[in-house]
């Protein structure tokens, strides 16, 4: 029962690893064969010594060879060769024998090297495959997953967890294969030499297993705790780097340092405790191995001195040499098991991420297949949504956007406006109700194809460390002449062509990380150009001008007017001046539509919209006065 946790660790770690090694099954078999050859030539070298010395120093061995060779199987095959060497004389026999041993060692080292290279190829490719799967999975997970989990914890799966998995599980698996093959071959030869002596050894081995199991029993739990603490540290670092401006502004550098040092110190204390337990396994197994060697010497000597014909002195020497050779793989086996228990936590975390529920990307395609994507209207049919069960964000939302029309959503912060836009973009799925396009639920449409018909301009402009053209044509090759023409056309529509042509390398100018080399208005116009690059049927504008100054807002608003012309548009507006020309305005409060109508109709109602307009006017007047001063 004591060995059960070790076995479970190997089985569970292997269950995750097996599916990733499967594509490299042929290489794994080749690796196993190379390890077998390496061990065989190691045994041949060890076994040859005792038999050669017997023939070399026994005069009768030079005259005649025994008709039936004694000793183990390999020894029997080599005795004829040794007897032939003796015929050349003692000195030449020693020279030829030295060359033979050198050749055996060389072959052993060659096969050991080839086995290591084959194993490293498998390890590198498995880690590459896992990282690719993690990245692909990250792209398919719904946005709700990222809202509920720390970014640092997610990044740790790509970096620390995969590295630890490689160093602990894959490296230990390599050691495990070598150790098991070596132990099996050595044990088979030891049984062949003397059954009784080997039975004594096997009776003592469970003691080693019990002790090592007791040492490594808590490694898996400790390792998982350490991985989670490392993820927290990664999150803390990422959060600190992102908020460095705020930290400096509020003179919180010492506070942030103290907080980081506190968690970092605790993380390292726990790592030290775990390493103490890991590295205790090797010296303990070494000590117990020496105890077994002493027992073998005592019991074997008794058998030899007792004139036991089955165990001759030279066979006993061979036995001792083989057993000594068996000790390193036995030690490596215990270390590998300990490392696997440590690495299992990494495998669990990677597997847990890969098993997260994805947003369905492909279903039966219905409405998207038609040449004209939107011919009638978008309809929100009694849509409700909850981020957390029992906490409604939207309740019974019903409205439609006719083709080519613009519907604006207004309301206070947190009322659910952006959630409506996210549902239309299928970043989330409604908790109840349906969103229809020409009568077809969007949940029945192929996700990627559906999104090709949607352009999104968000208040948080996200650009990539690439050229201007690369950002506009993001997701497209953009290398052919037609695509380059489309990039320039999108830039003209977004009123971005003028400032792009003034840049050092024009459309090939790198804009820096997050568009750091551009102003806020330029970034937003580049985002608009990206949104219209694919000529989408539907536009979602989520407070696209809220973070801009007056001049930048004017430029961006002009670009938006160009973009919206002839397109079906859902506008979320913080500055109500952008909603005046909307075909319909919906006032959203606490997840419900409380008013609807045109700008003039809502003003006449003297309701919530009228209050928002009045507050906006006072705010804008205050800002104008400040600017004049």
Nearest C-alpha neighbor of 147 from the set 427, 482, 565: 427
Per DSSP bridges, beta strands 377-388 and 432-437 are antiparallel
Q: Which helix (H) or strand (E) holds 388?
A: strand 377-388
Mean pLDDT within 288-310:
73
Longest CA–CA span in the chain (Å) reads 125
Q: Which pLDDT score, from 0 to 100, does residue 626 have?
A: 43
Lowest mean pLDDT among 166-180, 248-262, 415-429, 510-524: 248-262
Q: Can you give 313-330 as a three-state secondary structure string?
A: HHHHHHHHHHHHHHHHHH
From CA 281, how far away is CA 259, in angstroms rounded?
A: 35
pLDDT higher than 60, residue 628: no
Confidence of residue 56 (pLDDT cuts 50, 70, 90): low
| Contact present, 494 and 525 (Cβ < 8 Å) | yes
Confidence of residue 187 (pLDDT cuts 50, 70, 90): confident
From CA 378, how far away is CA 113, in angstroms rounded?
A: 65
Angle between helices 253-305 and 313-354 (to 10 degrees): 150
Of 1.20.1440.230, 1.20.1560.10, 3.20.190.10, 3.20.20.70, the CATH number of 4-354 is: 1.20.1560.10
Phi, psi of 583 (to 5 degrees): -70, -30
Nearest C-alpha neighbor of 362 from the set 443, 463, 266: 443
Phi, psi of 189 (to 5 degrees): -70, -40
Q: Which pLDDT score, from 0 to 100, does residue 33 have?
A: 94
pLDDT higher than 60, residue 309: no
Who wins on pLDDT, 249 or 567?
Answer: 567
Q: In Å, what is the CA distance from 267 to each residue of 115, 261, 404, 511?
A: 36, 10, 57, 39
Interval 355-413: pLDDT, tens: 887 765 444 444 344 445 788 899 999 999 988 877 888 999 999 999 989 999 998 88
Who wins on pLDDT, 147 or 111?
Answer: 111
Q: Determine the 3-state secondary structure of 429 from DSSP.
A: coil
From CA 447, how far away is CA 368, in angstroms rounded?
A: 10
Q: Which pLDDT score, from 0 to 100, does residue 167 have?
A: 83
Q: In Å, what is the CA distance from 629 to each residue of 129, 442, 618, 624, 625?
A: 62, 52, 17, 9, 6
- What percentage of residues in the chain have a pLDDT greater than 90? 10
What are the boundaries of each domain within the chain? 4-354
DSSP bridge pairs for 587: 410, 595
Q: Kindly state the tokens that stand for 350.
A: 């990677």
Q: Kindly state the tokens that stand for 245.
A: 């401006």
Interval 540-566: pLDDT, tens: 888 766 656 666 667 777 777 777 777
From CA 591, how far away is CA 420, in angstroms rounded?
A: 9
Interval 94-139: pLDDT, tens: 777 778 778 888 898 999 999 999 999 999 999 899 888 888 888 8
486: Cβ contacts below 8 Å, ≥ 6 apart: 473, 533
pTM above 0.85, yes or no: no
Per DSSP bridges, beta strands 454-458 and 538-542 are parallel
């Amino acid at each position: 029962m004591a060995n059960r946790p070790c076995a479970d660790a190997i089985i569970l770690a292997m269950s995750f690893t097996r599916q990733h090694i499967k594509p490299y099954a042929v290489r794994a078999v080749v690796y196993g064969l190379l390890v077998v050859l390496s061990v065989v030539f190691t045994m041949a070298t060890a076994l040859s010594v005792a038999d050669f010395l017997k023939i070399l120093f026994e005069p009768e061995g030079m005259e005649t060879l025994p008709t039936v060779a004694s000793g183990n199987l390999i020894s029997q095959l080599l005795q004829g060769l040794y007897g032939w060497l003796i015929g050349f004389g003692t000195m030449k026999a020693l020279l030829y024998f030295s060359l033979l041993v050198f050749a055996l060692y060389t072959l052993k080292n060659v096969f050991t090297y080839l086995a290591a290279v084959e194993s490293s190829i498998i390890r590198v490719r498995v880690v590459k495959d896992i990282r690719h799967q993690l990245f692909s999975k990250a792209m398919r997970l719904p946005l709700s997953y990222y809202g509920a989990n720390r970014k640092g914890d997610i990044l740790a799966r790509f970096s620390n967890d995969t590295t630890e998995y490689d160093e602990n599980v894959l490296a230990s698996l390599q050691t495990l294969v070598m150790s098991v093959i070596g132990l099996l071959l050595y044990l088979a030869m030891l049984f062949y030499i003397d059954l009784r002596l080997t039975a004594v050894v096997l009776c003592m081995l469970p003691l080693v297993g019990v002790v090592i199991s007791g040492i490594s029993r808590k490694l898996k739990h400790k390792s998982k705790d350490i991985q989670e603490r490392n993820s927290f540290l990664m999150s803390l670092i990422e959060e600190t780097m992102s908020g460095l401006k705020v930290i400096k502004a509020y003179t919180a550098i010492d506070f942030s340092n103290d907080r980081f040092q506190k968690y970092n110190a605790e993380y390292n204390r726990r790592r030290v405790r775990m390493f103490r337990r890991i590295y205790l396994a090797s010296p303990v197994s070494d000590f117990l191995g020496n105890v077994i060697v002493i027992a073998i010497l005592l019991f074997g000597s008794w058998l030899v001195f007792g004139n036991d014909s089955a165990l001759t002195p030279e066979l006993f020497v061979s036995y001792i040499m083989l057993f000594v050779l068996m000790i390193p793989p036995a030690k490596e086996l215990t270390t590998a098991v300990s490392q696997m228990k440590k690495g299992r936590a990494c495998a669990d975390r990677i597997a847990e991420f890969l098993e997260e529920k994805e947003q369905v990307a492909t279903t039966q395609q219905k409405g998207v297949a038609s040449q004209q994507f939107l011919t009638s209207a978008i309809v929100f049919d009694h849509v409700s949504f909850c981020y957390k069960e029992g906490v409604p964000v939207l309740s019974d939302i019903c409205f439609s956007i006719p083709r080519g029309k613009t519907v604006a959503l207004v309301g206070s912060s947190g009322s659910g406006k952006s959630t409506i836009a996210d549902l239309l973009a299928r970043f989330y799925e409604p908790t109840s109700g349906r969103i229809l396009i020409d009568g077809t639920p969007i949940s029945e449409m192929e996700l990627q194809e559906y999104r090709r018909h949607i352009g999104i301009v968000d208040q948080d402009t996200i650009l990539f460390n690439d050229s201007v053209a690369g950002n506009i044509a993001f997701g497209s090759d953009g290398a052919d002449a037609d695509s380059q023409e489309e990039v320039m056309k999108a830039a003209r529509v977004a009123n971005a062509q003028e400032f792009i042509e003034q840049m050092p390398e024009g459309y090939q100018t790198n804009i820096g990380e997050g568009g750091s080399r551009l102003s806020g208005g330029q970034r937003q116009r580049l985002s608009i150009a990206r949104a219209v690059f694919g000529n989408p049927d539907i536009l979602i504008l989520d407070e696209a001008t809220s973070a801009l100054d007056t001049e930048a807002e004017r430029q961006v608003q002009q670009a938006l007017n160009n973009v919206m012309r002839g397109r079906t548009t859902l506008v979320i507006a913080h500055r109500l001046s952008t909603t005046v020309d909307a075909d319909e305005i919906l006032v959203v409060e606490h997840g419900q539509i409380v008013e609807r109508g045109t700008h003039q109709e809502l003003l006449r109602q003297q309701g919530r919209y009228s209050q928002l307009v009045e507050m906006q006017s006072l705010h804008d007047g205050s800002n104008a006065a400040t600017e004049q001063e």
